[in-house]
Chain A
Amino acid sequence: MQDYLGVINAQSIIGANMFKDIFAGLRDLIGGRSKTYERVIEEAKEDAMRELTQKAQSLGANAVVGIDLDFETVGASGSMLMVIATGTAVRI
């Protein structure tokens, strides 16, 4: 480890659309995995991770260690999904 460049974080908040909500609701009714919501989570996670990497790059880091991913629902009825990625930017 040459340098610690500090703790960085990035977040992405995504709303699944109305139709996805309906499908997820149906899935809730009949049971099973909800691929529609899983894809939304995946998308939010990708966005957060990309932003985190870009922030690390701006600091001149060549790696991010100790990444923590946090998933939360936000919005009035919890219909939006928030992913927060936190990590330490370093040079190795």
Chain B
Amino acid sequence: MKTFNGQFYPSYFSPPIEATLLLSDKTLSIGYHDQAGIPGRQDWSMKEVQGDFLFAEQRSRFIQTKTQAEFRVAGRGAFEYWEEIKTEAEKSWFQKKRTGNLRRTVALLSAMIIAGTLLYFFMVPWLAEQMATVVSKKTERQLGDNVFEAMQNTQLEDTMATRVLNEFFTALAIETDYSIRITVVKDPLVNAFALPGGQLVVYTGLLESMETYPELAALLSHEFVHVEKRHATRSIFRAMGSGLFITLLFGKSSGLATLVIDQANQLRTLSYSRSLEKEADLEGYRLLQERGIDPAGYEQLFKHLKDSSPGTAIPEMISSHPDTDSRIQYIREAARGQVVKEDSRLGSIFAQLKK
């Protein structure tokens, strides 16, 4: 952008007026006073201007092609500058002058994107998992207890069912370093979950729908695997890890970018959650198998879950749990040829619950 003083000829025959000229890559502006002395301005776009250098007059000349108005500036400087910005403006975007080497920038950029993706999808989750495994059981327990205590204020415990379920779990004789504490909450919800460190929470709504003891064994073994395999702790660490990574990379800048990434992250977390659920199903099933308990307990359990939420079949991709039908499917496959024996002790404990 440069400014010049010169003569403005509003039309071909009009006498020159002393005026100012602004040359920039977008427009060419002329400021002048008309015959009455009133100031005015004309803006010419780059496209409608022709420039040349009048050798005889030693003046640069710019002509507005539509109105034939002219502007003349003494010396060659204005014309040369105009040529310069014009050639720059006419170049396509990838030929434009840049501070760096385009090829190098693109290479660097792709390398960074690849490295970032690798870090985000493999390195960060791996590190988080490593960290989750070093967390002591005591810390896990504290973490779970904090959540549990926060919940306790709002929920009512069914002490009888709690006692029976704990007795049932002890009778299953599953070896573990965690002290498993089961709590039954009075709530019609058909749900149950595991907190880190060994707290299992079961809602009465789910218990009421159960008819046989293998179902309860299936539920408890499933939730137990969540605890034993540190699923909750691992999920928390993964979420923290990727959160930290995103914050480092994007800072608190641009809300839109974080929005997009949050959504992608959500889907990734769900897929991870589905894989954990499947692991809990299969590992839990293995525990039943070792004890000769009927794997149909799992099928029944899944059916109760499905019945409790009729008409809310959401696509598997956006769900935290695998699709009920596919859960039944893979348990059936695993259970092929399974020998079942009746366990009267578990049966009698379960019967107490149904009284």
Contact status B26-A25, CB under 8 Å: no
Q: Which of B26-81 contact A (CB under 8 A)?
A: 26-27, 29-33, 39-41, 43
Instruction: Tell me the bound Cα distance from A18 to B29 in angstroms.
Output: 33
Instruction: Tell me the bound Cα distance from A43 to B326 in angstroms.
Output: 57
B99 on interface, CB distance cutoff 8 Å: yes
B271 on interface, CB distance cutoff 8 Å: no
Instruction: Tell me the bound Cα distance from A39 to B112 in angstroms.
Output: 21
Q: Whose C-beta in chain A lies nearest to the C-beta of B249?
A: A25
Contact with B along A26-50 (1 / 0, CB 8 A): 1011000001000100000010011
Instruction: Tell me the bound Cα distance from A76 to B252 in angstroms.
Output: 11
Count of chain B residues with a beta carbon within 8 Å of a chain A beta carbon: 30
Contact status A61-B31, CB under 8 Å: yes
Q: Which residues of A contact B40 (CB under 8 A)?
A: 58, 60
Contact status B20-A62, CB under 8 Å: yes
Q: Which residues of A contact B100 (CB under 8 A)?
A: 35
Of B156-164, B254-262, B276-284, B342-350, which stretch is located at the interface?
Answer: B254-262
Contact status A76-B31, CB under 8 Å: no
A83 on interface, CB distance cutoff 8 Å: no
B265 on interface, CB distance cutoff 8 Å: no
Contact status B250-A25, CB under 8 Å: yes
Instruction: Tell me the bound Cα distance from A76 to B256 in angstroms.
Output: 12
Contact status B257-A22, CB under 8 Å: yes
Instruction: Tell me the bound Cα distance from A25 to B254 in angstroms.
Output: 10
B172 on interface, CB distance cutoff 8 Å: no
Q: Whose C-beta in chain A lies nearest to the C-beta of B247?
A: A25
Q: How far is the CB of B190 from chain A (nearest CB, A)?
A: 42
Instruction: Tell me the bound Cα distance from A39 to B31 in angstroms.
Output: 29
Contact status A50-B24, CB under 8 Å: yes
B236 on interface, CB distance cutoff 8 Å: no
Q: How far is the CB of A77 from chain B (nearest CB, A)?
A: 6
Contact status B31-A62, CB under 8 Å: yes
Contact status B257-A53, CB under 8 Å: no
Contact status B29-A57, CB under 8 Å: yes
Q: Whose C-beta in chain A lies nearest to the C-beta of B116?
A: A26
A59 on interface, CB distance cutoff 8 Å: yes
Q: Which residues of B contact A53 (CB under 8 A)?
A: 1, 3, 22, 29
Contact status B1-A18, CB under 8 Å: no
Option from A21, A22, A50, A58 in Cβ contact (under 8 Å) with B31: A58
Q: Which residues of B contact A76 (CB under 8 A)?
A: 255
Instruction: Tell me the bound Cα distance from A18 to B251 in angstroms.
Output: 12
Instruction: Tell me the bound Cα distance from A46 to B23 in angstroms.
Output: 12
B154 on interface, CB distance cutoff 8 Å: no
Instruction: Tell me the bound Cα distance from A56 to B22 in angstroms.
Output: 11
Q: Whose C-beta in chain A lies nearest to the C-beta of B25?
A: A46
Q: How far is the CB of A30 from chain B (nearest CB, A)?
A: 10
Q: Which residues of A contact B256 (CB under 8 A)?
A: 18
Contact status B255-A57, CB under 8 Å: no
Q: Which residues of B contact A24 (CB under 8 A)?
A: 253
Q: Which residues of B contact A54 (CB under 8 A)?
A: 22, 27, 29, 31, 41, 43
20 contacts between A and B (CB under 8 A): A18-B254, A21-B257, A22-B249, A22-B250, A25-B249, A26-B112, A29-B248, A35-B100, A39-B99, A53-B22, A53-B29, A54-B22, A54-B41, A56-B31, A57-B29, A57-B30, A58-B41, A61-B20, A62-B20, A77-B255
Which residue numbers of B lie inside 8 Å of A, CB to CB? Answer: 1, 3, 5, 20, 22, 24, 26-27, 29-33, 39-41, 43, 99-100, 112, 248-257
